[in-house]
Amino acid sequence: MSSSAELRGEQTPAPTPRVCPVRHQPRPQAFPDHPEAQTTSAHTVLGQPSRRVVLKGTGALAAALATLELTGRAARVPIREPLPGAVNAASSLPDIQFDIGNYIAPAQTISGVLVRFGPVHTTFLTARLLRTPTKADQAILANALSTIEANYPFAAGGVFPFIAYGISYFNRLPGGINGSLVSGAMPRLAANHSRYVLEEAVPSPTDVSALNPGITKVRFNVPVQIESNDILITLRGDDYSYVADVVSWLGGSNTLAGRPIASPRFSGLLAFTSSRAMFQQMGLPRYVAATNDLPFAPFIHPHSPMWMGFADQQVDGSGPAAITTFAGNASARLTTAVAGDYFDNGAIQHLSHDILDLVQFFDLDDSGTPGSDGTFTERVQYMFRSTPPPSLGNADQFTNGGGPSFLDNAFKGTGDALTSAQGIGTPGNEHRMGHLSTLQRSSRAADGTPIHVRMDGPGFDAMDVPDGSNQPKLQFTVFVPSADFFATMRSHQASLDLAAQYNVATTDNGLERFITATRRQNFLVPPRRHRAFPLVELT
């Protein structure tokens, strides 16, 4: 899982104007450049959207727009180098909707670790349908998605739009999810042909839920909700005002990229139910923590792109997009789908909303002083592993993270968590498990390739927080070949079976106690060619 050097209470350095390569005008820079080289070519988008217009929002869309405003004015718009052979013609865009590798910067090495940064800003919009979509609605949605891509390049310097569908959507189609229309197209598990790739999300073993009696969280004891949205729209881009502009246009602003363009006219078809904004840039979590006077700000690494201080953008931490599709690739094929099937290049997109207890993670007392459980050597074992820890950190184990932010996401085999649970090879032979080692019990193919593409990052808002305050969030989404695959991987992340068998204390089991998942849902993200209300054309 899963950030410049201002300390809590200190004045943020004065912004330095810089030229935005997309808009060709000065943009503020809230903290110094870092060597992250987030580098798509500079595209010119005609008709600059007005920030006074695009950042207005009401209802479900307002939350994301507020977070975009908060973080966007502090974030830098990266200058991205063009990738060889990258083309933005609509006919050449990837059939795997989320396969954006050819439209962002190439990988780079930071502190000896090969990493790759995605777009700075991501917004998730969920919606429910108020009626069954028609073929006319399908054409309107297809035109809306094409209009976004016609006005903003399919690039990190523009906007990446993805769209996915929940079980409730497929139940609206003739016969429902088990009718001949859907069941004839829906891939099934290769290991069990009676099960679809799309199943409803379930509470993880450490979620607060009636299904998990005895599971509680110290500060955010919020029961998880299994959502039932029909639609999930994901929007990604480096410039927050572009993402906000598209959000507002979908919400009815009737302007896009500074031009009068009618918003989609769905005639009472859908209602947005939530909006969630994610940001990901080196130094940005630390900046947000410092400017909001959060007590753990001095202990977040000043270059980290994540709240917990450890980067998770390692190249070897995610697989190629193809391995996560229903058709799979040479490394792994987990479903009955084959090339040419209706949903061949589709995948499952799991979306969860997580509140992070960083006061507990840094082991802060009421005065903001960290304790022994908040040392770098403890935190790095919770995040990675104990066999052995990937780093022992600095002499000062607390200030500025207490150690490096960028560390290898090494794969040490599916039995690494078992070994550490037994206390073999751990410091002091303690029985403990790290987050990444438990995930790797089932997250990779036989050749070691990850069977998932993670797209998670920090958030900062009040959604589901009991007292209504803004809190650090993990906005988490992942692309996998089946809902069953994710449920197994998430169960292994908790590894309560190993904890019980080998007496691993709750305080030595990864990140579970620091994370409260308040919402979960699985969606099917279809191939691009069928992204607008899939299967409706066959009704």
Q: What is the pLDDT of residue 89?
A: 60
Q: In this structure, is residue 121 part of a structural domain?
A: yes
The two three-digit tokens of residue 149, written as one number: 């891509």
pLDDT value, residue 91: 62
Q: What was the pLDDT predicted at 127?
A: 97
**Measured between alpha carbons, how far is 439 from 441 in angstroms, rounded to an integer?**
5
C-alpha torsion angle, residues 265, 270, 276, 278 (rounded to 10): -50
The predicted pLDDT at position 387 comes to 95
- List, in order, residues 6 or more apart from 385 with CB less than 8 Å away: 412, 416, 417, 420, 433, 434, 436, 437
Domain count, the chain: 1
Residue 487 belongs to what H/E stretch? helix 483-494
- Confidence (pLDDT) at 84: 60
Q: Are 256 and 499 in contact (CB under 8 A)?
A: no
Does residue 299 lie within any of the structural domains? Answer: yes
**Is the omega angle on the peptide bond into residue 388 within 30 degrees of 0, that is, cis?**
yes
Backbone φ and ψ for 136, nearest 5 degrees, come out as -65, -40
The C-alpha atoms of residue 308 and residue 19 are separated, in whole angstroms, by 31
On whether residue 302 sits in a domain, the answer given is yes
- Give a yes or no: residue 13 inside a domain: no
Is there a domain that residue 476 lies in? yes
Q: At what angle do helices 240-250 and 62-72 cross, to 10 degrees?
A: 170
**Cβ contact 476:352 at 8 Å:** yes
Q: What is the pLDDT of residue 86?
A: 54
Amino acid at 389: P
**Pairing status of strand 108-110 against strand 26-27:** unpaired
Q: What distance in Å separates the CA atoms of residue 66 and residue 244, rounded to the nearest whole number?
A: 9
Does residue 319 fall inside a structural domain?
Answer: yes
CB 482 within 8 A of CB 325: no
Residue 7 domain flag? no
- What CA–CA distance (Å, rounded) separates 238 from 281? 10
In angstroms, rounded to a whole number, what is the distance separating the alpha carbons of residues 380 and 207?
23
Cis (ω within 30 of 0) for the bond into 223?
no
pLDDT average per 10 residues of sequence, the chain (539 residues): 27 28 31 37 36 51 91 89 61 92 91 95 97 97 98 96 98 98 98 98 98 96 98 97 96 96 93 96 97 97 97 95 98 98 98 98 97 98 97 98 96 97 97 97 98 96 97 98 98 98 97 98 98 98
Torsion of CA 89, 95, 97, 103, to 10 degrees: -40
pLDDT computed for residue 106 by the predictor: 87
